[in-house]
Structures are given as C-alpha cells and as structure tokens.
Amino acid sequence: MKIAIIGGGLSGLLCALMLERRGYSPTIYERLSKLGGVLDSFKRKKVLFDIGFHYSGALEKGQYLYNSMQGLELLEKLKLEKYDGAFDTLYIDDEIFEVPLSSLEFKKQLQARFPKESENIEIFFHKCYEVSEISSKPEQFVKVDSRSLKDVMKDIKDEKLRKVFLHFTIFYATAFYEDASFDFYAKIFINMLDGTRKIEGGGGAIISALKESLSKTTIKKRSEVTKIFQDKNGVNALLCKDEKVAYDAIISTVHPKTTLKMFDDLDKKQRRYQSHIEDLEESPSFFSIFCLIDAQIESNLYFYGDEFISVLPSRIYKGKTVATILAGSYYSEYENLSEDEYKKKKEQECQHHLNRVRKLYDFGEIEVIDSSTPLTKQHYSNGSEGSIYGVLCSAKQKSLSVVMPRTRVKNLYFAGENIIAPGLIGAFLGAEILMNYFEEKK
Ligand SMILES: Cc1cc2nc3c(=O)[nH]c(=O)nc-3n(C[C@H](O)[C@H](O)[C@H](O)COP(=O)(O)OP(=O)(O)OC[C@H]3O[C@@H](n4cnc5c(N)ncnc54)[C@H](O)[C@@H]3O)c2cc1C
C-alpha cells in the first residue's frame, strides 16, 4: 500500500513513524526546506529559541505521552526536565496563584484559598478525574462528550476561582474560554498538574528524535502538494511540482480547509462536508517576541488583565533567561500590508507588548532578538488565518465530529493539530487514533 503524508511537522513525522512500526514505508511531502513545522526551534546569535513547544503534560512515568513516547523509543533520545517549583504562575486581578506539580496539592491549595467553594472544588476535580484518562482505544474516541467547561463549572460562583480553572483553556483553545470542550480540558488539566515536563532542546529536540527514528520513510522537502485526485474508489494520486504521483491513501496533516481546496472534483456530498469544514471557527492568532531577559525566571508567567500576555522561559543562556513573550494579535491587521507597512506594524506591536509586560513585572533589561506575527504562523503551517492552534477546540465543534481522522473522501485521512486537539498530546492522540485505520502488516 503506497501512502503519502502531506506535511513534515510534528504530526507528519509521528504518522510516518507509527506507519513504519506497522510495516509501511510512507512518503512525506513538506513544502518548506526544513522539517518541523510550527514545533521547531531556531537559533539567532547562538541562542536557541522555541517556537511551538515550551512544555507539556502527561509526561510523568505511566502517563499517556510518557508511555507513547516510550513505545516509539523516543524517550531514550530525549531528556525530560522537571520544574523545581510551580510550573505556571497566574496573575489574576492583583492576586498570584502558583500552580504546583500535583493535582491533589493544587486542589488542597484552592480549597484553603476559597473555603466557601471547597465542596464545589472537590466536585469539579472529581469530574475532571473521571474523564482525564487519555487513550487512543477506539471505544474511547467514539464516545462524544459534548459538555463545555461552562456546563461543568456551573456551580462555581467565585469569579476568581472560575478564572483560575479557566486558565487551562489557554493550552488548547484560548484564554478564559468557557465554551471549551470539557473532555479535552479535563485531560489537559489533570495531566498537566500531575505530569508537566520541559524537554531539553525544546521542539527542535523532538523533531530531531523523530527524524532519527525514521528508516523506511522517504522525505521530500521543498515539495508542496498542490492537488489531490480521486476516482470512484477514493483518492488515488497527488500533484507535486507538476508531477502526478499515484497513491493508495493520503494522510494530510495540513489544515482541513487547505486540504479540501486541493480537490477539483468534490461531489455533492463532499462539497457539503467541505462547507461544514469551512464554517469551523478558528482559535485566535498571536504575536511572539523572542528575547533574553535579565532575570532568572523558572515558572511560566501568565498575566490576565484587560489583555492577556504571557512570558514563557525556555532555558538560561549566559545568566539570562531565554524566553518567548506571547500575546493576542490579529491576522486581519497584517494580511494586506506592503512590506514596509508590515515591518512598521510589527515593530509597533512588539513595542506595545514590551511596554505592557514591563509595567506588569520587574524583568530588568529585555533584549529582543526576533518577533513573529500571525502571518508567520500562517507561513509555517499553511493553515487558516495564522490561528495559534488551528480549529478551535470548542465543545460544539468537537461534538459535531466533522473533523475526525477518517474523512468523507475515501482513503483521505486527516491528522495534525486541527483534528482531535493541538499540541504534543493532540498530535500523538490524533496519529494513534488514525493508526486504527491502517492494519498491521504481517
Ligand atoms: C506559539 C505556540 C506555542 C505552542 N506551545 C506549545 C507547547 O508548549 N506545548 C505543546 O504541546 N504544544 C504547543 N503548541 C502547539 C504545537 O506546536 C502544535 O500543535 C504542533 O506543532 C502542530 O503540529 P502539526 O504537525 O499538526 O502542524 P504543523 O506544524 O503546522 O505542520 C504542518 C506542516 O505541513 C506543511 N505543509 C503545509 N501545506 C503543505 C502542502 N501543501 N504540501 C506540503 N507540505 C505542506 C507545513 O509547512 C508544515 O511543516 C504551540 C503552538 C504555538 C503556535
């Protein structure tokens, strides 16, 4: 069976490795000159910066990601790093909440701080534990949990406590998002509290480990797929650099909206499917500042005021903290600018966020090394509107089951951050669920 994978980011490489383990020899098509997509790291002035990976949950021994990475022999190529103290520090309405690496400890701290809500906190954690197991077993992922976070939090009245819980939507949807899918919330919430780790070398190290592990995959870089063909038996070929190449199955890790535009001949039912996909709401877009901060920052700092802003430390370089400042931004404000206008707007926005962050915390000197706009993310993922995590992981959209690994076009499959969920957890889960459709070859 000839299988093509469109996209050489985290999900494309993962799908290739999992297919190899099942006896297949797939081909990856990557449109850029480098593998890694959004996850990769980059070096400027000899300093290593992270783009799309800072930390992840489910990495404690026995948890989902730890087990999956061990199963793929990736853990021996990577070094997990534990946070010494709180992994996140939240600044909410002049109060500080430190998030410890233990769900039981966090629950205890919250009950001490919000005694009137003690019982509701107990119930909330209990509901989260109930669905916190992450699993790619078919019986798990066909169950649709349509509850939103708002539904489950309805008895919690204290606004500040609600905000503390809502912080965790930032990892897969957007800040303080009450309509987020509760199912994925619980998985992120508990698995972060009990298993957050950094990975030495950041996203670049994950990509290198995946690349090194591949032995039967053909990798084609600078190879943009522009068309996908089908006949009555399903997809049968793709077009890359004017060459039509036959395949029995195609896995696209590229945004479903972008992928479906590659077909010239969708039938009526498939066009209806495309129109549902086109209607899906995206997660918001963002601005990143890659900088060196003259202070030792251990914990990820999240400032929730009128506008959200976060400071995510990666590592220490010559006594300074290598960090990314992340803030909300708008794709539409960059979309149609000339080169000069773009540069000017980018500089202004960078300055605006720096001014804000300096007022919130005494960081000492901040040396800006580089920055990126919503257009940068769009360039790396070829997705939709530079959205931070692609398709928004809302309760409504997840319960519609529109974006699942098996599509309405026969032998076309989806993987990647837009399908089940974003991030390392989402990419692994999506790829593992997808493997249920590819029989193990004897
Ligand atoms: C700022 C930021 C911070 C993040 N932080 C974290 C974090 O701390 N922890 C975490 O777990 N997750 C984090 N994430 C999420 C995580 O980085 C992504 O969900 C993940 O990298 C997505 O991988 P992917 O392979 O699904 O998609 P992508 O990385 O977008 O890969 C898609 C690939 O397809 C290629 N492509 C596109 N079109 C074509 C075409 N026509 N032909 C061939 N190739 C094509 C692209 O060039 C790209 O390489 C973060 C994301 C962002 C943006």
In whole angstroms, what is the distance from residue 73 CA to residue 75 CA? 6
Distance of CA 107 to the CA centre of its chain: 26
Unique residue bearing structure tokens 């903290």: 321
CA–centroid distance, residue 197 to ligand 1 (Å): 19
Residue nearest to atom 19 of ligand 1 (CA): 423
| Mutation test residue for ligand 1: of 220, 381, 392, 428, the one with most atoms within 8 Å of CB | 381
Closest by Cα among 230, 240, 199, 188 to 8: 240
Residue nearest to atom 35 of ligand 1 (CA): 7
CA–centroid distance, residue 232 to ligand 1 (Å): 32
Q: Is the pLDDT of residue 26 over 80?
A: yes
CA–centroid distance, residue 207 to ligand 1 (Å): 11
Q: Is the pLDDT of residue 441 over 90?
A: no
| Mutation test residue for ligand 1: of 39, 66, 224, 228, the one with most atoms within 8 Å of CB | 39
Selected residue with higher pLDDT from 326 and 144 = 326
- Structural tokens at position 331: 């794709």
CA–centroid distance, residue 434 to ligand 1 (Å): 18
CA–centroid distance, residue 10 to ligand 1 (Å): 7
pLDDT digits (tens, 9 = 90+) for 197-244: 999 999 999 999 999 999 999 999 999 999 999 999 999 999 999 999
Rounded percentage of the chain residues whose pLDDT exceeds 90: 93
Residue 141 confidence (pLDDT):
64
Residue nearest to atom 26 of ligand 1 (CA): 416
Closest by Cα among 240, 191, 236 to 412: 236
- The torsion angles phi and psi of 324, rounded to 5 degrees, stand at -115, 130
Residue nearest to atom 33 of ligand 1 (CA): 7
pLDDT band at 305 (very low <50, low <70, confident <90, very high): confident
Residue nearest to atom 9 of ligand 1 (CA): 53
Q: Is the pLDDT of residue 142 over 90?
A: no
DSSP 235: E
Residue 306 confidence (pLDDT):
83
For the CA of 288, the closest atom of ligand 1 is 1
Closest by Cα among 60, 23, 402, 224 to 69: 60
Q: Is the pLDDT of residue 401 over 90?
A: no
Burial 76-99 (b: 16+ CB within 10 A, else e): eebebeebeebbbbbbbeeeebeb
Residue 307 confidence (pLDDT):
87
Residue nearest to atom 37 of ligand 1 (CA): 382
Residues with CB under 6 Å of ligand 1 are: 6-12, 29-32, 37-39, 52-56, 224-225, 253-254, 288, 326, 377, 380-382, 388-389, 416-417, 422-424, 427
Residue nearest to atom 52 of ligand 1 (CA): 52
Q: What would you report as the CA-atom Rg of the chain, rounded to the nearest whole angstrom?
A: 22
CA–centroid distance, residue 42 to ligand 1 (Å): 14
In whole angstroms, what is the distance from residue 133 CA to residue 291 CA? 36
Residue 224 confidence (pLDDT):
98
Residue nearest to atom 31 of ligand 1 (CA): 9
In whole angstroms, what is the distance from residue 202 CA to residue 205 CA? 6
If residue 289 lies in a helix (H) or strand (E), which one and from where to where? strand 285-293
State the average pLDDT over residues 392-416.
Answer: 91
Q: Are strands 198-199 and 95-99 parallel, antiparallel or unpaired?
A: unpaired
Residue 50 confidence (pLDDT):
94
pLDDT digits (tens, 9 = 90+) for 171-193: 999 999 999 999 999 999 999 99
Residue 91 confidence (pLDDT):
97
CA–centroid distance, residue 55 to ligand 1 (Å): 15
CA–centroid distance, residue 442 to ligand 1 (Å): 32
CA–centroid distance, residue 22 to ligand 1 (Å): 24
pLDDT band at 139 (very low <50, low <70, confident <90, very high): low
CA–centroid distance, residue 39 to ligand 1 (Å): 5
State the average pLDDT over residues 281-310.
Answer: 95
Rounded percentage of the chain residues whose pLDDT exceeds 70: 99
Strand order in the sheet with 249-252: 218-220, 27-29, 3-6, 249-252, 412-414
| Mutation test residue for ligand 1: of 13, 241, 417, 419, the one with most atoms within 8 Å of CB | 417
pLDDT digits (tens, 9 = 90+) for 377-400: 999 999 999 999 999 999 999 887
Closest by Cα among 106, 108, 114 to 168: 106
Three-state DSSP at 348 gives helix
Residues contacting residue 250 through CB under 8 Å, at least 6 positions apart:
3, 4, 5, 6, 228, 235, 238, 411, 412, 413
Q: Are 423 and 389 in contact (CB under 8 A)?
A: yes
CA–centroid distance, residue 417 to ligand 1 (Å): 7
State the average pLDDT over residues 85-98.
Answer: 96
- This prediction has a pTM of 0.96
DSSP 39: G
DSSP 441: P
Handedness of CA 128, 130, 135, 141 (dihedral sign): negative
